[in-house]
Amino acid sequence: MQGRSTCLSSSDVAVLMPGEQVDRRDVIFQRRGGDFQRISELHRSYDPLHYVILFPHGTDGFHLNIPKASGGGHVTALEFYRYRLQVRDKGITFNQLMRSRRLMQQYMCDQFAKVEGQRLQWARSHQTEIRADKYKALLDAVDAHDEVRAGTKVILPPTIYGSPRWYAESFQDAMAIVRVYGKPDLFITFTCNPSWPEIKNSLFPGEQPSDRPDLCVRVFHIKLDVLLRDLTKDNILGKVKAYTGMKEDQKRGLPHCHILLTLYDEDKPKQPDDIDRLVSAEIPDRHKNKKLWEIITRNNIHGPCGHLNPASPCMGGDGPIKVCQKDFPKPFSNHTVVTDRHTRSTVAKQ
């Protein structure tokens, strides 16, 4: 099938966190007298000195001694920046930060690095509490008779997203689900759409969805929760026995989620009719359902490529003649075919 595809073009803002073992980032500023001074990233003057436009009145940024309004204790960096990254009524507070576009994205990345640095520093200074002594590199090296690798190793707990123990725990949880409930039956991908009306209606004048990644993420999570409720509580695709999923971010900044569903035996797709009841690879009738036709033709059709558009990103190959790397156009099939090869069921849908 041929058609047109759309994508969100945006200029990315990223942060690079060095891998050296340092307690905090090296923040140096020049005083009026010409000499230099090093301050902590947790200093109350770090934010207004670095982001002068966002703090025109020199308001203090985050520091460790901000008391909570109720309940006692002090405000954490994560709580402080969650408060800062919210849109409120103009009559209450005018949040200039949310209208700063790329500067806001730089501010968000910078503060994320600060929050993540604090979490890593806590893990480094509380190794005893997370029972890291069991995983010391020295013991591993001695057991493996490899004294060259002997040394002190900082163990990250599974609460640190992306750490080795987080990956190990997540993998073991997923494998436990498969071992108890069987292999998944449905693979669903849910992707954020920057054209959602909830996103477009919340933009400030002159903004594009690429200017507000915070808004895209929040709307995506709300819709993802609704989708999971429809799948697991309302059972719109069948009664769900178990499910698991993984949220990721595309390079262009849009989040998406891969969901695996394991259904009860009576709802498992076993015959072509069962598959056709769940999956449709047909273009809807333009006159009977115009809205669905517009969605499918705008988002779910590959192309154009081939001789119609040799410059398409999917075109490639080693020879002088470029071909579509996604093997489009696909051969047409009038019926859904279920094949069983080496006790593994595969489904071909066209």
Q: From 194, 219, 210, select the one nearest 87 (Cα to Cα).
A: 219
**Quick one: 51 and 198 in the same domain?**
no
The kind and range of the H/E element at 241 are strand 240-249
Q: Domains in the chain: how many in total?
A: 3
Cα–Cα distance between 236 and 17 in angstroms, integer?
Answer: 43
- The enclosing H or E element of 132 equals none
Please tell me the distance from the alpha carbon of residue 77 to that of residue 114, in angstroms, as a whole number. Answer: 8
Per-residue pLDDT tens over the stretch 14-69: 666 665 555 567 788 888 888 888 888 888 888 998 898 888 888 888 988 899 98
Dihedral angle, C-alpha 307, 309, 314, 319, nearest 10 °: 40
Q: Report yes or no on 15 lying in a domain.
A: no
316 three-state secondary structure: strand
Kindly report the backbone phi and psi dihedral angles of residue 240, in degrees, each rounded to the nearest multiple of 5, phi listed first: -90, 130
Helix (H, G, I), strand (E, B) or coil at 252: coil
Q: Is the domain of 143 the same as that of 170? A: no
- How many whole angstroms from its chain centre is CA 139? 36
Looking at the structure, tell me whether residues 114 and 152 fall in a common domain. Answer: no
Tell whether 326 and 181 lie within a shared domain: yes
Q: Domain for residue 65, yes or no? A: yes
Q: Are residues 139 and 177 in the same domain?
A: no
Neighbours of 184 (CB within 10 A): 19
Task: List the domain range (segments joined by +) for residue 67.
Answer: 27-125
Distance CA 84, CA 88 (A): 10
Q: What is the pLDDT of residues 79-97, one digit of tens each?
A: 999 988 888 776 556 778 8
Question: What three-state secondary structure class fits 348?
Answer: strand
| Helix or strand run (H / E) with residue 36 | strand 36-39
Q: Are residues 47 and 112 in the same domain?
A: yes
- Is 17 contained in some domain? no
Which residues, in sequence order, are CB contacts of 302 under 8 Å at separation 6+?
1, 2, 3, 5, 314, 326, 328
Q: What is the pLDDT along the chain (350 residues), one digit of tens a residue?
A: 333 333 444 556 666 666 555 556 778 888 888 888 888 888 888 899 889 888 888 888 898 889 998 878 899 999 999 988 888 776 556 778 888 888 998 999 889 888 988 888 888 888 888 777 666 555 555 555 555 555 567 788 888 888 888 898 999 999 999 999 999 999 999 999 888 999 999 998 888 888 888 899 999 999 999 999 999 999 999 999 999 999 988 766 789 999 999 999 999 998 888 888 888 778 888 999 999 998 888 887 877 888 888 888 888 877 778 888 888 877 777 788 777 643 333 444 44
